[in-house]
Amino acid sequence: MLARYWRLAGITGGLVCAAGDLPAQLLVRAALGARYTSTLVHDSIVTPFDVRPALAPALAVTAATPVGERWTAQATLDFSSSTLERHDVGGGTTGLGRVSTLAFTVGLRRPLAAGFAASLGVGGVKYFPANATGIFRQGSGAIAGLGAITVEYAPAAGARYGLGVQARYDAHRFITPALQSEGFDSPRLVHRVSLAVRAGWGGGAAR
């Protein structure tokens, strides 16, 4: 599993480095930040408890190209990884092993006033547990549909390198085959929020 992370990091790094000679119409942005994920599973055995990932580092790489005066079409690959935790009602926390997510979205971005921009995307997210145990003992299930909204702010001072900050919200539904076997009758809506700093390369990176 670790090798997979390094491979992904290598691909990401390669994409970013290759962006140095991008065509004028292609823009690549990389964003690095932190992600909060809401509860994946709420259950009750004697007492209630929640299962959710810990605060995770998040890396996103976006390729974009203009499709009109003010719109940009973009595709984003987003990766995050952290420890899955069980939070008991009494305050106890138990680590359940590492879990990573890889999300792919396609969408549209539009600049707003005063250095702000907003984008909307749809795609899918897949969970990659480090071990096939617990709620992932029968696998992580199919790719889940995902919707994402991102708001960015790029100050004029950082225009040369496309520097900016961005807040991303996305939502998807989560269930695994093991949870279905346990008796969960439907997926749970999971919210994720990430805050990141970004840099851009290529045409229009500053915007």
Partner 1 sequence: MKWAALALTGVVAAGCEPTVPVRGCAGCTYDFADTIPPDTSLVFHWPAARLPVRYYADSRAAMPALVATGIATWNAQFLYGEFRAVQVADSTAADVIVQWEAAPPPDVPPDTSTVDACAGSTTNPSVVFRDSSARVLHVTLGVKAGAFTDAQVAGCLRRVAIHELGHSLGLLKHSLSRFDIMNAVPTVSFPSVTDRRTVELLYHTPPTVLPPP
Q: Per CB under 8 A, which of residues 154..183 are in contact with partner 1?
A: 169, 171, 173, 175, 178-179, 182-183
- Cα–Cα distance measured from residue 200 to residue 180, given in angstroms and rounded to the nearest whole number: 42
Query: Nearer to partner 1 by C-beta: 38 or 65?
Result: 38
Strand residue runs (E) in 40-92: 41-45, 47-53, 56-66, 72-88
Query: Considering only residues 10, 18, 70, 94, which one is a binding residue for partner 1 as defined by CB under 8 A?
Result: 94
Of the residues 20, 23, 91, 92, which one makes contact with partner 1 according to CB under 8 A: 92
CB distance 201 to 25 below 8 Å: no
Of residues 62-91, those binding partner 1 (CB under 8 A): 86
Strand, coil or helix: 13: helix
Decide: is 114 part of the binding site for partner 1 (CB under 8 A).
no
How many chain residues are in contact with partner 1, going by CB under 8 A?
36
Task: Please tell me the distance from the alpha carbon of residue 185 to that of residue 171, in angstroms, as a whole number.
Answer: 19
Return phi, psi of residue 26, to 5°: -110, 130
Inter-CA distances, 94 with 8, 89, 194, 195, Å: 28, 12, 23, 26
Report the site for partner 1 in 11-50 (rule: CB under 8 A).
42-47, 49
The binder of partner 1 chosen from 2, 113, 156, 186 (CB under 8 A) = 186
If the CB atoms of residues 43 and 199 are measured against partner 1, the closer one turns out to be 43
* Pick 25 or 181: Cβ nearer partner 1: 181
| Amino acid, res. 146 | L
Does 130 help bind partner 1 (rule: CB under 8 A)?
no
Among candidate residues 70, 200, 84, the one with its CA nearest the CA of residue 132: 84
Contacting residues toward partner 1, per CB under 8 A: 42-47, 49, 51, 86, 92, 94-97, 118, 120, 133-135, 137, 147, 149, 169, 171, 173, 175, 178-179, 182-189
